[in-house]
Chain A
Amino acid sequence: MSHSKTILDIVIGRSKKEPDRVAFIYLADGETTEETITYQDLHDRAVAIAASLLEAGRQPGERVLLMFPQGLAFIEAFFGCLFGGYVAVPMAVPGKIRGTDKVAHMVSNAGIGAALALTKTHESLRKLAPHSAWATDQLHWICTDALTSVFEPQTHYFPMPTANQLAFLQYTSGSTGHPKGVMVSHGNILANSAFIQHAFQTNEQSVSVCWLPSFHDMGLIDGIIQPLYSGFTAVLLNPVHVIQKPIRWLRAFSRYQGTYGGAPNFAFDFCVDRTRPDERQTLDLRSIEHLYNAAEPIRAATMARFLTTFAPNGLQPEALFTCFGLAESTLAVTMCRHHRLPTMLTVDTNILEQNKVEVIPHGRTLVSSGWPMTDSILRIVDPVSQRVCSPNEVGEIWASGPSVGQGYWQQPELTEAVFQARTNDGQGPFLRTGDLGFVGSDGSLFVTGRLKDVIIIRGVNHYPQDIELTVEQSHPALQMNAGAAFRIERDEVEDVVVVQELKRTSLQTVLTEEVIQAILRQISLQHGISPAAVVLLPPNSVPKTTSGKIQRNACRQAFLTNELSAVYQWETTALAPATTDS
């Protein structure tokens, strides 16, 4: 595979060498209903899709929307785009109540002209958003399940893309109104795939079990591309099925003797808290060699209880690893190695809050996220002065190497600021990850916090701007541009708090209970989350800069130290706990 320029060369190679080998098994019911595809079929279906885009007059380099539920059809469509020389733009199918606005913004931002979907998805989109141009006549929709054309090598010729060419745009960053499409090239895909393979030594005998959504960087790069890169069979599940019953993920490991997989921290807690002893009894997890925790902050307690709970099922303590990454770097920035478990340190919490690291015997346990690849460099940098930090200082994590993406689609200024940063002594260019951390004495990275405003709950990104807009629009008594949504940590678990000013004209007459209910309802409807607290403030009390910008950090500080002069503060109903453990 060392002569491969792109993942397409690898797919072609596998379809020739092992045409009938099963590439993917999708568990359509999360349990036993298998849908499978071989290397040959994947190649042929993808090329047929590429041909259909060509026949529809779409030009190479065009961005094509992919809107699929979890499953094999997405994989065919993704590679169809790549074979045709198009730039794939995968997106989640928007839900009933929220998401259609976001799609409109991304379609516009990426300049999308054509879309691939299943017939049933397209039909339900037209019903869901009949007034949205993108769902109806603005885009050329091709329903991939309705295609009957067969790949004919003589009539269809697709030039192989170069390493520099864009493969896809990843829109997981950015708020609804300001989406940011990370540009991932073919070279990025191979570099990051090589890193993952090197880290865990995956090979053709590996078996992965993945439920992360395919439009998410982890679900795509590790769940779909890595198995193709290294030549092993991947079992895929729908995230909804696993969230409903986490035992399904573990059962799949057991049934297929899975060796490899990864998930965000909350999923490991779910496996412990939401599985029953009788369900766990029949699991055989001895085959697992590398299970990694990534995509949201890692908790030592989570990993410990997961290992304890599943040790009776044969899960080895040497099987649990960690990684750190972000879409802006394709996926992985640091990973453990197959023979190097995550390092742990106990540090003084107060000193950590002052961005310094002091190792003490009994403190907060931090778990490292591994080491960068040999082709990449990490720097810990003061985000304000751009000075490289000293070894025991916490700073912003900066990264450089062939996995770093090409920038944000058509946002040259933001691209320069984020992807081409230089330290104050001229080192660079680096990607600014927006995450905070330090490097331990063994060279491993510890991620300790976040500079960027994004709030991550159950592995999903939530942007404060989006929540703030929802809140201020939820009730007429609320003042525009006078609220903040910020994250807090309770027991090392991330949560969101909302503060919001009332209008001067509403102060005397407002029914605070009614306003709180309206806020909670809209946040729940629009974002699917439930805040830890909502604080209603009098006019002109939200901290702002001189230019009128809301200062979220100052709000958080004031909230945590009880210095907000609240008109009314609501906190989630505290319930007395059940006395017996179920």
Chain B
Amino acid sequence: MTTTNIDEESIQNWLQQAVAQELKSTPEQIDVHQPFSSYRLDSVVVVTLAVDLEEHLGCALDPSIFWEFDTIADMSAWLVNDYLPAQNA
């Protein structure tokens, strides 16, 4: 299922929601500029997030991106500006 009109803000919101759900908290508590590593995201959680994000975006994702980008904001920017355009090219 491909989703069109994906911008940075919508991915940020999605990630805030997903991380909040994993940590049993609320999206408002998840700061998109705070490093992932300050949240309890171990490799098991990351794999789950990556799978769900894949489904949402409609293309394959390597879970290692959660370790390559420090913050939700950084990852969203890369996905929108670099990765997704390359998939659709």
Contacts and interface: CB of A to CB of B under 8 A. Distances in A.
B57 interface: no
B83 interface: no
Contacts, number: 71
B33 to A, nearest CB: 13
A18 to B, nearest CB: 38
A440 to B, nearest CB: 33
A530 B40 contact: yes
A578 B42 contact: no
A97 B67 CA distance: 10
Given A529-B42, A529-B43, A575 B29 contact: yes
Interface residues of B, number: 27
Nearest to A96: B64
B42 A528 contact: yes
Interface of B: 20-21, 23-26, 29-30, 34-44, 46-48, 51, 62, 64, 67, 70
Contacts of B48: 243-244, 274
Nearest to B29: A575
A517 interface: yes
A520 interface: yes
Contacts of B62: 96
Nearest to B62: A96
Given A458-B42, A579-B26, 16 more contacts: A517-B38, A517-B70, A520-B35, A520-B38, A521-B37, A524-B67, A528-B46, A529-B43, A572-B40, A575-B20, A575-B23, A575-B24, A575-B25, A577-B25, A578-B24, A582-B21
Contacts of B34: 573
Nearest to A529: B42
Q: Does more than half of chain A's interface fall in helix, strand or loop, or is it mixed?
A: loop
Contacts of B29: 575-576
24 contacts: A96-B64, A97-B64, A243-B47, A243-B48, A517-B37, A517-B38, A521-B37, A524-B36, A524-B37, A524-B41, A524-B67, A530-B40, A530-B41, A530-B42, A572-B38, A572-B40, A573-B39, A575-B20, A575-B25, A575-B29, A576-B26, A577-B24, A578-B24, A578-B26
A578 B2 CA distance: 30
Contacts of A566: none
Contacts of A96: 62, 64
Contacts of A530: 37, 39-42
A457 B40 CA distance: 13
Which 7 interchain pairs have the tightest Cβ spacing? Answer: A528-B43, A520-B37, A575-B25, A575-B29, A530-B42, A244-B51, A529-B42
